[in-house]
Structure 1
């Protein structure tokens, strides 16, 4: 096996890269590609038409976008739209597979798991969400049974939502380019919330909490459901809430760093929560529900607080305790655990292990 690898990344089919529709998958794909390229590996990306994430080498594919998994019912059937971009991406991957050592799937969808045995080039999967539908669960578990080293998760908390997942399935965590995030020692008075504006992200709880405390809240993220946003504001007319848009990393971190605390209020099991480590990199303490990936990130009383899920009063109490957190500890944790080199070590070890086992 050569020291350097030729890798084909297949992106999420729910939106073009750079639009924010893919959520944390976009940042994960970009940062993993960066980490591997810094090690001398070659990365090509297949993604829906309109994708842009310079300086990545991206080939775009036309077709109808896939429905996002988190909007589906538990018993939803497998579905593809007419002329699906997902099918077109995997057909292109099939044609090109001989040029690559590994194919790396980032899509949370049944089809890539189903197709895995039919490819001659090994296909690996980073599962980007927890259990959502029965059909997807079955596809993931069947792939694990057949290829236990090829399926990776972000966290053990996420993996556990699929049942008993063997230790052979690595948990890779995440990582960010810390040079893009400035440490802010002296914050302002505002609190922060970052994420897609969508019901499963639980924005209403953060707004309810700031309505009780009187502290202003700034919200950043893709405005995926405007009606939901308007409903939240209408339910809490006394809350001081500002929507500041969907910003590129450099501008987001500059504004985020000035906030005194970051609220994470998911109504579902977050696989990881990239925005959590982005906040820590800026020195911003994290207040999160004890649900999903953040439970494996936040150090209680040192870099933030974990709150009983769905407890607005718990959020309020934690907000009152923010002065107890040394913001330098937040930055230090990001540097130690969530740098690009640290993530690159984990991912490269996994990929080489797959090739060795095959």
Structure 2
């Protein structure tokens, strides 16, 4: 028997660390875009609140001015909560509170203290999509209070991510994102090149991928926003002979064109990655993923079938896996993206989560 799903009006609040479309928000940008498009296709009404200058194709965005917030991953565990003088985060949530009664549910995608603190001041249910593991103790405490007082409202990407928090059993595992396979072109005849995608900042450990490219002599295509210019400059100084090419921060249609022809993609996070949107983008192109056995990627990649999981922080493990890429059937990678990690499958999970909070 088919159960009718009520059509919802959903307000999504974006990350306050950068305008949508700038690349500063990392995987959250793709998450919001894919979720909004999927839910709209199901008849739900979607509105997004984001920093001024945001753009996500044809999606409706309420542009909010103000100073951007520091990213949590650049701060220490014991860091104090800090906000600029005219915080875009506070401005976004003030706007949300003023229009909250026009919506059935509010989705928070900001990993910051303020949205959790403000939850009791909202009448409309707030679902919190937590896209990082434990980073700052003060934020952990704020999330835990919401998890206790508002059961079922804390959504995380993976079990591995949840386990970084002391309140893991109070989290709902809802996945990190999903891809529309129609947007990504499958390639079964790759070139002898590798790819690395992500924000260029120390916790992503790009230098390990560059070192692996240098040892194998295989060209590495690097795609992503340079968040830490000094870090990027240091990598270039440390590996002057590495066969690397920086392609910049690319929109999806250009990214998949560059990615699909690669024989493999490397994921080298130094921290516990909550999910790994770039992994499912690679799979959608038929590109096997070589990742450290740490965090979300370890729950995405099936070792020996859609890529390889290697010992964390070991360049020699990356090199050994690169030499085994021919063992992977690229069709298996594409199949995983079309089924387990499809936008439609993830949309159903998120839709069900929202309905539970509303009814």
Contact 1:49 1:60 in 2 (8 A): yes
Deviates more, 1:170-179 or 1:119-128: 170-179
Q: Distance in 1 between matches of 2:123 and 2:218?
A: 56
Residue number in structure 1 paired with 2:58: 55
Q: Distance in 2 between matches of 1:78 and 1:164?
A: 21
Q: TM-score when scaled to structure 2?
A: 0.97
Q: Does 1:175 align with 2:178?
A: yes
Contact 2:12 2:49 in 1 (8 A): yes
Displacement of 1:227 in angstroms is 1.6
Residue number in structure 1 paired with 2:136: 133
Q: Distance in 2 between matches of 1:87 and 1:173?
A: 25
Which secondary structure state, in structure 2, belongs to the residue aligned with residue 152 of structure 1? strand
Q: Does 1:17 align with 2:20?
A: yes
Q: Distance in 2 between matches of 1:248 and 1:340?
A: 18
Q: Which runs of 5+ in 1 are unaligned?
A: none
RMSD: 1.2
Residue number in structure 2 paired with 1:345: 348
Q: Distance in 2 between matches of 1:2 and 1:183?
A: 33
Residue number in structure 1 paired with 2:101: 98
Q: Distance in 1 between matches of 2:123 and 2:170?
A: 25
Q: TM-score when scaled to structure 1?
A: 0.97
Residue number in structure 1 paired with 2:314: 311
Q: Distance in 1 between matches of 2:292 and 2:356?
A: 34
**Residue in structure 2 matching 1:242, options 231, 240, 245:** 245
Displacement of 1:224 in angstroms is 1.3
Contact 2:162 2:171 in 1 (8 A): no
**Residue in structure 1 matching 2:258, options 248, 255, 258:** 255
Q: Distance in 2 between matches of 1:350 and 1:305?
A: 32
Residue number in structure 1 paired with 2:9: 6
Number of residues paired by the alignment? 356
Displacement of 1:167 in angstroms is 5.8
Contact 1:156 1:171 in 2 (8 A): no
Residue number in structure 1 paired with 2:71: 68
Q: Which runs of 5+ in 2 are unaligned?
A: none
Q: Distance in 2 between matches of 1:2 and 1:308?
A: 44
